[in-house]
Every structure is written in structure tokens, then in C-alpha cells.
């Protein structure tokens, strides 16, 4: 008997082979085929798929629970260092470890994309590996089964028919066909074999589910490589800021409005935006929470808002070196005061602007003032720190600083995700595949009609066990219907007329 993958050899040839022959590595293309076989078996491993899914789940969970640095921050080393310093207040000594493991930028790391690639390859190869078996089940299932099958099938029954074998077989065939089963038969001199199945194409729901997972992973990669998400895109009122990220877009905040209920909570906040492409206005409009603005696949969502301090800075020669609104979008470690910063690159200075605590009498920074702290950019050492009253310039170190006025900023979430349409298609395929598998399960029944010596017939029924909780009821229903077709009532008696009306 020949087994799959093993060929029987003559005993003399085996004895004549040298002892080391069995241990010798296959040469040439045989060795290459052996390596390919090992790789193929590696990727068809269910254990490997489970490990990859667990790792991917842990990575996504970490990316959800841990703060993720915005792409615009990661692109600027200085901004990223400032972001890490703010993160250090939350994560403490774990900050450096998490940063080393790239857990603040999980979805754009090479190792995350590698896991997705391995899992995608695993799913594709598993699908290819299962294709032959499912194709055979759907299109080439055996019609005739052995006596052993009917003896040991999970669901089986034996019925005595008081009629010739051919008549009994035809009535069984008709009863199964009336139950919406596709019926095939094979006849020999002493028996008629019957195979019936229903919803056979639902087996392909497995491939639709696999394809949907591949497309979801592909959509994630496409969105990660060709798209971006910046949840902390801040624009001060009256200012224009470039989106970057390979786009030629910039955004101007014309006006920001916030409204409140009498009890205090926000009623509405909205931003009037103007979008420019290559310096030319292309779109303008108002955005609210859950009412974003889109242009060429880039969406601008209203996310948060806050105050700015319009600062004017000159050097010792009264040359203007800074005149912009500074968003106070962050908070100090102690006191929860709003803080923002800007760099004076030609002066080797970083200036921090700190506002008073909201809703309280702040002993350090009274209302109407801003605290200005000047640091050397190269060493991080403090140069000078003073409070500056609005409209009253003050010399701080070698800089003249003027707090002009307060204003507002809007915080936007800027998103471009070209993979979202792929994920929508994948979700539809996932639903369709699961519906095919669970709501329209593939059901199969075999029957064997044998002629008895007295001219009557014996009908054997058998069904294989499947992951279908309703299969017991289905087999009972079919057995009763076949019994009625053969003139046998459910209680074991016989019907008048031998079941001709079924």
C-alpha cells in the first residue's frame, strides 16, 4: 500500500544502500523542494497564527492604552524631545524603556508591519492549503460510502421499506430533493447509493472570511504607509499652519467660537477654517465636533481648544525676532497651569510662556499676566524668568518681551486614511463570510438502499458530525420525511398507501 509522500522500495535496494545514505542531505532541486516544504509547513501552522494574533493584539492594545506621539511631532526631533518630557510626568522611569521599544509610535514601526506581513502570509497560505479539500467537498464528494460509515456515523438510522430497492431509492431521492437538498445517486446490481447536500457553496465563506482579514491587514498597512493621523494639530486664531506629511496643504483659523450652558458645560465650539493648497485658497467652512471638513482625502476634525498668548519679542537692538500667538496647549507638572513654548533659533533660546491657573487666584501668576521663562536651547539651563503684564514690555535676560493680548486656538485632528475604503470592503466580506458559515451551514447526508432476499429493501441513513448545533434536529426531520416517503410513520407504524403522497 502506498502512503502519501512515502514510496515503497524493494528490500534488496534498501539493504544495498550504504548506511550513511539515509542521513545524507538531498542534493540539487530535491533539497530546495525540502526547504520549500518546511517553509510551507511553517506558514500553515495554526500555532504560528495564534502566536502572531496574540502579539498583534498586544501591540494594538499597547498602542491604544499608551499615548502615541503625533507624526508632526515625531518628524521634528526637538518637538519629540519636548513631547517625551511631558510623557515622563505620566510614565516616569518607564518612559525611556517604552521609547526604546518604539511603543509611542507602534503603528508606524517596522516590527509592527513585519507582524502584519507574517500574519497575512500565514492566512493566504492556510487558505491555499485548504482549497483542495474544500473544493473536493463542494464539487467532488463521494456518493457511495461503506457499511462501516453507516455503523459509526454520529447520526445514523436503518429503515425497513416494504417495496423494491429501486422504488425505495427513488422515494428517498424525492424526499431529500423536496427538503431542498441536491441529490446524486450511484447504482450497482444490489444497491443504490445516494448523496445529498445543501448550502454547499457556504463552505467558501471560509475563504471570504480569510480574505476579509487579509484586506483588513492590507488596509491597515496602506493607511499606515500612505496615510497619517495627527491628533494634536494646533492653529492659533488668525494664524496659518502647514499640514505637512507630504501634502501641499495649509490651514488658517479665521475665528473660533465657544458657547456654554448656564450651568457651565460647553454647549458648542466651532472653528471657521480656510484650506490652502500651494498657497491658493481651495476650501473654507465651519467645523464642529462630529462635523469635519474634508479635502482630497484629508479630514479636519474639531478636537479641543484653548487660549493663546500673543507675544512680541525683540533683541537688544530692537530688531523684531518673534511676533506670533503662542498656544498654551499643555500643562505644567505642578499647578496645572497652561503652558506653551517657542524657539528663537538665531538666539539659541527656548522661551516658555505660562498662564495663570484657570478659575483660581494664582499666587505665582496673577490674572492679566504671563510668566516667561527663557532657557538656553543647547544646554537647557535657565537664563531668566519674569512675569509680564499685558501691554507692558519687560526686559528678560537679553530679550525684550511684550505680552500683547490673549487669543484662542483650535485643536484639530487631521487624518488621512486611504485604507479606510479597503477596510469597509473587508468588513462587508467578513459579515458575508460569517453569515454563509453560520446561517447557511453545509449539510450532507448519505443513504444506501439495499435489496433484501424477500424482495423488500433496507435503507441506511448517515450524517457526519459538524459544528452545527441544529444538526440533531435536521437529521431527525430528514429521517422522518424519508420514513414517511417509505410508508413508515414516526411511531414505527406504516401509513396507508405506502407514502405515495410525500
Of the chain, the percentage scoring pLDDT greater than 70 comes to 90
At residue 399, does pLDDT exceed 80?
Answer: yes
pLDDT band at 68 (very low <50, low <70, confident <90, very high): confident
* Overall average pLDDT of the 362-390 stretch: 91
Q: Domain 307-412, what fold?
A: Alpha-1-antitrypsin; domain 1 (2.30.39)
Closest Cα to residue 323, out of 265, 389, 243, 407?
Answer: 407
**In this model, does residue 14 exceed pLDDT 50?**
no
Q: Over 80: is that where the pLDDT of 490 sits?
A: no
Burial class (CB in 10 A: 0-12, 13-18, 19+), 79: middle
Residue 16 has pLDDT above 50, yes or no: no
143-199+441-499 folds as TATA-Binding Protein (3.30.310)
Sign of CA dihedral 244, 245, 249, 253: negative
CA distance 143 to 187: 10
Confidence at residue 392, expressed as pLDDT on a 0 to 100 scale: 93
The predicted-structure confidence for 291-325, as pLDDT tens digits, reads as follows: 999 999 999 999 999 999 999 999 988 899 999 99
In DSSP notation, 155-190 reads EEEEEEESS-HHHHHHHHHHHHHHTT-EEEEEE-SS
Query: Can you give the pLDDT at residue 466?
Result: 72
pLDDT at 178: 95
Taking residue 486's Cβ as centre, other Cβ atoms within 10 Å add up to: 25
Stretch 181-199: mean pLDDT: 94
Q: How far is the C-alpha of 347 from the C-alpha of 352, rounded, in Å?
A: 14
pTM of the full predicted structure? 0.67
Answer whether residue 414 shows pLDDT above 80.
yes
Crossing angle (nearest 10°) for helices 110-139 and 28-43: 100
**Residue 64: pLDDT band with limits 50, 70, 90:** confident
Across 38-152, the runs of DSSP E, i.e. the strands, are none
**Residue 3: per-residue pLDDT:** 38
Q: Bridge-partner residues for 286, per DSSP?
A: 272
DSSP state of 499: G
Give the model's confidence band at 28: pLDDT under 50 very low, under 70 low, under 90 confident, else very high.
low
3-state secondary structure of 13: helix
Region of poorest pLDDT, from 262-276, 284-298, 412-426: 262-276
Q: What is the pLDDT of residue 492?
A: 64
Cα separations (Å) of 249 from 206, 238, 298, 325?
43, 17, 9, 21
Q: Is 271's pLDDT higher than 90? A: yes
Q: Of 417, 61, 88, 242, which is closest to residue 80 (Cα–Cα)?
A: 88
* 11 band by pLDDT with thresholds 50, 70 and 90: very low
Which residue ranges does the chain devote to CATH 2.30.39? 307-412
pLDDT band at 30 (very low <50, low <70, confident <90, very high): low
Is the pLDDT at 8 greater than 50? The verdict is no
Q: Binning pLDDT at 50, 70 and 90, where does residue 10 land? A: very low
The percent of residues above 90 in pLDDT, for the chain, comes to: 51
Relative to beta strand 443-451, strand 191-198 is antiparallel
Compute the mean pLDDT over every residue in the chain, rounded to the nearest whole number.
86
Question: Does residue 227 carry a pLDDT above 90?
Answer: no
- CB within 8 Å of 332: residues ≥ 6 apart: 339, 354
Instruction: Determine the pLDDT at residue 385.
Output: 94
What angle (nearest 5°) sits at the alpha carbon of residue 266, between those of residues 264 and 268? Answer: 145
pLDDT tens track for 206-222: 999 999 999 988 888 88
- Range(s) within the chain of domains with CATH label 3.30.310.80: 143-199+441-499
Contact 213, 56 (CB under 8 A): no
Q: CA-to-CA distance for 76 and 479, rounded, in angstroms? A: 73
How far is the CA of 4 from the CAs of 1, 173, 419, in angstroms? 10, 36, 43
Q: In this structure, are residues 475 and 483 in contact, taking their beta carbons and an 8 Å threshold?
A: no
pLDDT score of 326 more than 50 = yes
Amino acid at each position: 500500500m502506498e502512503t502519501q509522500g512515502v514510496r515503497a522500495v524493494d528490500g534488496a535496494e534498501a539493504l544495498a544502500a550504504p548506511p550513511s545514505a539515509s542521513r545524507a542531505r538531498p542534493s540539487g532541486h530535491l533539497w530546495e523542494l525540502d526547504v520549500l516544504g518546511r517553509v510551507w509547513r511553517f506558514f500553515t501552522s495554526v500555532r504560528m497564527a495564534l502566536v502572531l494574533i496574540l502579539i498583534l493584539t498586544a501591540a494594538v492594545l499597547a498602542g491604544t492604552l499608551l499615548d502615541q506621539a503625533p507624526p508632526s511631532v515625531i518628524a521634528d526631533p526637538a518637538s519629540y524631545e519636548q513631547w517625551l518630557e511631558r510623557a515622563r510626568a505620566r510614565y516616569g522611569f518607564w518612559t525611556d524603556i517604552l521609547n526604546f521599544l518604539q511603543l509611542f509610535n507602534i503603528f508606524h514601526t517596522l516590527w509592527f508591519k513585519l507582524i502584519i506581513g507574517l500574519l497575512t502570509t500565514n492566512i493566504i497560505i492556510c487558505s491555499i492549503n485548504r482549497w483542495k479539500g474544500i473544493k473536493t467537498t463542494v464539487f467532488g464528494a463521494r456518493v457511495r460510502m461503506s457499511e462501516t460509515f453507516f455503523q459509526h456515523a454520529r447520526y445514523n438510522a436503518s429503515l425497513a421499506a416494504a417495496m423494491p430497492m429501486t422504488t425505495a431509492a427513488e422515494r428517498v431521492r424525492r424526499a431529500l430533493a423536496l427538503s431542498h437538498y441536491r441529490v446524486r445517486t450511484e447504482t450497482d446490481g444490489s444497491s443504490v447509493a445516494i448523496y445529498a447536500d445543501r448550502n454547499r457553496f457556504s463552505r467558501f465563506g471560509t475563504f471570504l472570511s480569510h480574505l476579509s482579514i487579509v484586506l483588513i491587514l492590507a488596509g491597515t498597512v496602506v493607511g499606515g504607509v500612505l496615510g497619517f493621523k495627527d491628533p494634536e494639530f494646533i492653529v492659533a486664531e488668525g494664524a496659518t499652519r502647514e499640514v505637512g506629511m507630504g501634502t501641499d496643504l495649509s490651514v488658517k483659523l479665521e475665528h473660533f467660537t465657544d458657547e456654554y450652558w448656564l450651568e457651565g458645560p460647553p454647549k458648542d465650539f466651532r472653528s471657521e477654517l480656510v484650506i490652502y493648497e500651494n498657497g491658493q485658497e481651495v476650501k473654507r467652512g465651519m467645523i464642529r465636533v462630529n462635523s469635519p471638513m474634508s479635502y482630497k482625502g484629508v479630514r479636519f476634525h474639531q478636537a479641543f481648544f484653548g487660549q493663546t498668548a500673543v507675544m512680541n519679542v525683540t533683541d537688544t537692538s530692537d530688531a523684531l525676532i518673534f511676533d506670533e500667538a503662542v498656544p498654551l496647549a499643555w500643562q505644567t507638572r505642578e499647578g496645572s497651569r497652561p503652558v506653551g513654548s517657542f524657539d528663537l533659533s538665531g538666539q539659541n533660546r527656548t522661551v516658555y510662556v505660562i498662564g495663570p491657573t484657570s478659575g483660581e487666584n494664582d499666587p505665582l501668576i496673577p490674572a492679566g499676566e504671563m510668566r516667561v521663562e527663557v532657557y538656553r536651547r543647547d544646554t537647557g539651563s535657565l537664563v531668566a524668568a519674569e512675569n509680564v503684564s499685558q501691554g507692558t514690555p519687560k526686559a528678560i535676560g537679553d530679550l525684550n518681551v511684550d505680552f500683547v493680548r490673549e487669543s484662542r486656538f483650535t485643536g484639530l485632528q487631521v487624518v488621512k486614511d486611504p485604507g479606510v475604503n479597503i477596510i469597509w470592503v473587508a468588513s462587508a466580506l467578513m459579515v458575508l463570510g460569517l453569515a454563509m458559515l453560520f446561517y447557511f451551514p453545509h449539510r450532507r447526508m448519505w443513504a444506501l438502499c439495499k435489496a433484501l432476499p424477500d424482495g423488500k429493501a433496507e435503507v441506511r441513513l448517515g450524517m457526519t458530525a459538524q459544528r452545527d448545533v441544529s444538526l440533531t434536529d435536521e437529521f431527525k426531520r430528514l429521517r422522518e420525511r424519508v420514513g414517511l416517503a417509505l410508508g413508515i410513520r414516526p411511531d414505527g407504524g406504516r401509513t396507508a398507501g405506502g407514502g405515495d403522497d410525500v
